[in-house]
Amino acid sequence: MSMYRQLWLAIITSTLLALLGSLLASTLSARSYLSEQLSMKNADNAAALALSLSQKAPDAVEVELVVSALFDSGHYELIRVTDPFGKVMVERRAAPNNNGVPGWFSRALPIVAESGQAQISSGWKQIGTIELVSHSRFAYRALWSSVLEMIGALAVAGLIGGYLGSLVLSRLRKPLTSVIDQAKAITERRFVTIDEPRVPELHQLAAAMNGAVVRLKTMFDDEAARLEMVRREVNCDPLTGLANRNNFLAQLRADLADDESLGGALILIRVADLTGVNHRLGREATDDFLKRVGAAIAAVVVDIPDSLGARLNGADYALLLPRSKEPRQVAEALLATLIREGESFIDEGPTAFVGFGHYPRGLDASTVLAQVDAALAAAESQGDNAIHEARFVADEETPTSGDEWARLIRRALDQHWVRLISFPVTDLAGRLIHRECPLRLMLDEHGDWLPAGRFLPMAERLKLTPQIDLTAVSLGLEQLAADSTIPGLAINLSASSIQDQDFRRQLLEQLHRQPTAASRLWLEVAETGAFHHFDAFRNIVGALKGTGCRLGIEHFGRHFSQIGLIHDLGLDYIKVDASFIRGLDEEGGNRNFLQGLSIIAHGIGLTVIAEGVATSTELAALSDVGFDGATGPAIKDAD
Amino acid sequence: MLVALCLGLNAAAGLDLDRLFASLQALGGVESNFRDWQRMMAGAQEMPDVTDKLRRVNEFFNRRIQFADDMEVWGQSDYWATPMETLAKGKGDCEDFTIAKYFTLLNVGIPNDQLRLVYVKARIGGPNSAIVQAHMVLAYYPAPNAEPVVLDNLITDIRPASRRPDLTPVFSFNSQGIWQGAGGMDPQGAGGIGRLSRWQDLLRRARQEGFD
């Protein structure tokens, strides 16, 4: 029985007991009062009658007359006169009649009164003995009505007592529920704090739990801050704070290898006369200049999601814009900024040279770097602040205008020219955790299946991702329902979908329709989308909590410092971005960072999965840093 | 022998002599008075003739108890003393004589329904005197419809009522049919009805002294 119900029962029982007890006590005392009053009246009336008869030397007729007169004018049950030998001289007895109260009541609470007795004499002569019993119906009636009144009054008191009791209970219940919810949340590894209730005992409990949660949070935050430093040291250029060469190369390779990528843009920047600046203005000014260039690149990166700025070596910088197709504008704006920044450092001659190019998916990193580097060299050879573009061969026909894309994507969805492909995600012992299922889409009947990277960026821009994601989810649920041997399927939700109210509603409907399949569905959002639209992400995670599907973040890592934000969401897993995994087996890689990351993630109940594991040595290194699972080219299906 | 006598008396009359004696001592009474009373009762009880019993008891009290006003003895205008109180003080008024005789006679074997305490008007100072005062005597009825004899403290020998023209009876009573309070509870206690009548009060106090 719940504590609340027990409290209720205790209140009701004690109120009832108190009321019944006082009812009983007052009824019994009223009864004894009434019966004593009645006995006294009997005695007094008998004495008065005897006294009055004794004064007049009565004969038998007179005795009878006086007795009758008294009986007829008063409230008596019995008046009897017996002579000194015990023979009845006169007897007047009232016919038994209804005394106006229920029979059970007078049987349960009889009012017993002694009869009154007195002697009549005439002179020295004894005439007889009077016995007199007053009628008790008035006493019964008084007792009955007093009981009824008591019951009424006590019922009112009971109701008021019950009402006050329920007020107190509801005052207790609210803080109790919130403490219980907090405890539940903590078992689900959602570390939430609650308002501390004013009830002292609960206040202490809630304060203790809040304290524990806050300490845990602080611990996480400290650990996260420390790891962020480690990450920076390994991945960042110490002077400018941009990514270093290794980090840059890892990300470029990851983007090129990513099945969903559709290529991107690479911009290389070379500061023109660094030696001259160093010579003229000294080392400090040179560092200052380099920092300013870095800041200009960082300013560009802030505005473009997923972009990366890096300092490759002395005077060379790079800007990686995955998915971007129009790098020229960015490159020109950047060059203009650099010229402005460089004014105080450069007397004459060029400030910087820029080479850029748009690379398709699937090339290898050194080719891309070599080509853009060639473009940079070409720009450099022009002598001025020049920009030069590297031309890669575009090997696929793609629609050109946005309208055309929209039409083709809609048609593909209508015609069901969609399918899920899948890659295994296994634990480190090679057992399948789930299969990650990106959507492929066919733009015309004979066309190739386009990877997500080809159409998703355009679909994002055209706000078509909700339909695409819903299609992917329904395909996933179908497969799960059809084949119960699949442990799970992971479907990607895009950033613009999670902000869409309709999408959220329809997704929930779908999941509620197929609860068993939904319990094996894994839904993930890319880190960029999740953190840029954190409120939307938080909302959808909260809404999906009851559906049974698992929720996670993919491509995790670059926003690691914000891991504190997700500790109270109750997520199930993260997939760590491939760029952190790349080269894990080599010296000086991200080993320390990933080790700390997995400790923190495990602390808040997350399963940690590595993305883009390319080699068996990388896979082997994952267990050292405490990862739970892996996916990537090196992960093959068991069969 | 005295012990055997006491035991016999105790068994016959339902008296608690120890308690009675303790009550008397608490009231400051002299032991010899109590023992005399006890011996007198034992003697009276043995007597076969009712008239002898009556005379013995009547004489005992008329001789031993000195007439005195309630105001003098008890400091209040009208106080009904129990037999032990009267015996302890050695003084009493007409009610006290009557009460003491009544209780004693009950305990030497006179049935209650033959005894009456009678309020009487008493003419004092000869047949033609005009002085009348309220008085109480004890009447003994040999038969329910017979003429009673009167035990009085003014005229100390027992006479039939017809030979007592100075007395006019007004009202008579005894302890028969007297309601003595619910279950004998303390009349001042919870649920009680406050004061009992004077007669009820006396019966209660006598019971407490040891007259059962």
Establish if A125 touches chain B: CB-CB under 8 angstroms: yes
Does B144 contact A84 at a Cβ distance shorter than 8 Å? Answer: yes
Does A115 contact B176 at a Cβ distance shorter than 8 Å? Answer: no
- CATH number of the structural domain A240-390: 3.30.70.270
Whether pLDDT at B4 is above 50: no
Establish if A623 touches chain B: CB-CB under 8 angstroms: no
CB B196 within 8 A of CB B204: yes
Residue-range domain boundaries for chain B: 2-209
Tens digit of each residue's pLDDT (9 = 90 or more) over B35-44:
999 999 999 9
Which pLDDT score is estimated for B190? 36
Does A121 contact B169 at a Cβ distance shorter than 8 Å? Answer: yes
Question: Least CB-CB distance to B182: which of A35, A117, A131?
Answer: A35
Whether pLDDT at A129 is above 80: yes
Tens digit of each residue's pLDDT (9 = 90 or more) over A566-613:
878 888 999 999 888 887 877 666 888 888 888 888 888 889 999 989
Indicate the pLDDT class of residue B12, thresholds 50, 70 and 90. very low
Indicate the pLDDT class of residue B177, thresholds 50, 70 and 90. low
Pairs across A and B, CB distance < 8 A: 73
CB A575 within 8 A of CB A554: yes
Q: Residues near A83 by Cβ (< 8 Å), separated by ≥ 6?
A: A89, A127, A128, B144
Q: How many whole angstroms separate alpha carbon A478 and alpha carbon A472?
A: 10
Q: Measure in Å the smallest separation between the Cα of A161 and chain B Cα atoms.
A: 29
Terminal-residue alpha carbon distance, chain B: 24
Considering only residues A148 and B2, tell me which one the structure prediction assigns the higher pLDDT.
A148
Which pLDDT score is estimated for A520? 92
Which pLDDT score is estimated for A496? 87
Q: Chain-wide mean pLDDT for chain B? A: 82
Tens digit of each residue's pLDDT (9 = 90 or more) over B128-140:
888 888 999 999 9
Q: How many whole angstroms separate alpha carbon A153 and alpha carbon A611?
A: 76
Q: How many whole angstroms separate alpha carbon A141 and alpha carbon A151?
A: 15
**A62: number of Cβ within 10 Å:** 12
Superfamily per CATH, domain A402-630: EAL domain (3.20.20.450)
Q: How many whole angstroms separate alpha carbon A400 and alpha carbon A325?
A: 12
Radius of gyration (C-alpha) of chain B in whole angstroms: 17
Strand ranges in A274-400 using DSSP code E only, listed in sequence order: 308-313, 316-322, 352-359, 387-390
Whether pLDDT at A238 is above 60: yes
Prediction ipTM score? 0.79
Q: How many whole angstroms separate alpha carbon A23 and alpha carbon B136?
A: 49
For B2-209, give the CATH class.
alpha beta
Which pLDDT score is estimated for A16? 86
Q: How many whole angstroms separate alpha carbon A69 and alpha carbon A64?
A: 8
Establish if B173 touches chain A: CB-CB under 8 angstroms: yes
Average pLDDT estimate for A225-235: 81
Which pLDDT score is estimated for A476? 93
Least confident of A28-37, A121-130, A165-174, B23-32: A165-174
Q: How many whole angstroms separate alpha carbon A543 and alpha carbon A537?
A: 10
Whether pLDDT at A239 is above 60: yes
Tens digit of each residue's pLDDT (9 = 90 or more) over A136-147:
888 888 899 999
- Which tokens in the block code for residue A421? 């492909």
At which residue do the structure tokens 């690149």 appear? Answer: A297
* Burial letters A28-41, b for 16+ CB under 10 A, else e: eebbbbbbbbbbbb
Which pLDDT score is estimated for B188? 40
Whether pLDDT at A259 is above 70: no
Tens digit of each residue's pLDDT (9 = 90 or more) over A356-397:
988 887 777 888 888 888 888 888 877 778 888 887 765 555
Establish if B120 touches chain A: CB-CB under 8 angstroms: no
CB A213 within 8 A of CB A186: yes
Question: CATH number for the A3-159 domain, one of 2.60.40.1120, 3.30.110.200, 3.40.190.80, 3.90.870.10?
Answer: 3.30.110.200
Which 40-79 residues of chain A touch chain B by CB within 8 A?
40, 42-43, 47, 50-51, 54-55
Least confident of A20-29, A40-49, A96-105: A96-105
Q: Give residue A274's Cα distance to chain centre.
A: 55
Q: For B144, which residue in chain A has the nearest alpha carbon? A: A84
Whether pLDDT at B149 is above 90: yes
Which amino acid belongs to residue A105? F
- Which tokens in the block code for residue A627? 């990862």
Q: How many whole angstroms separate alpha carbon A394 and alpha carbon B104?
A: 144
Which amino acid belongs to residue A4? Y
Please, is A376 exposed, middle or buried when counting C-beta atoms within 10 Å of its C-beta (0-12, 13-18, 19+)? buried
Tens digit of each residue's pLDDT (9 = 90 or more) over A82-114:
988 889 989 998 877 777 788 888 888 888 888
Does B178 contact A43 at a Cβ distance shorter than 8 Å? Answer: yes
Q: Chain-wide mean pLDDT for chain A? A: 86
Whether pLDDT at A452 is above 90: no
Which pLDDT score is estimated for B60? 93
Which pLDDT score is estimated for A638? 65
Whether pLDDT at A556 is above 50: yes
Q: Are strands B167-173 and A308-313 parallel, antiparallel or unpaired?
A: unpaired
Q: How many whole angstroms separate alpha carbon A584 and alpha carbon A597?
A: 14
CB A392 within 8 A of CB A284: no
Query: Of all residues in chain B, what percent carry a pLDDT higher than 70?
Result: 84
At which residue do the structure tokens 């007297």 appear? Answer: B178
Q: How many whole angstroms separate alpha carbon A418 and alpha carbon A443?
A: 9
Sheet order of strands, A387-390 included: A308-313, A316-322, A264-271, A352-359, A387-390
Residue-range domain boundaries for chain A: 3-159, 240-390, 402-630
Which pLDDT score is estimated for A609? 94
Whether pLDDT at A523 is above 90: yes
Average pLDDT estimate for B177-190: 47
Which pLDDT score is estimated for A424? 93
Query: Of all residues in chain A, what percent carry a pLDDT higher than 90?
Result: 19
Whether pLDDT at B191 is above 50: no
CB A209 within 8 A of CB A179: yes
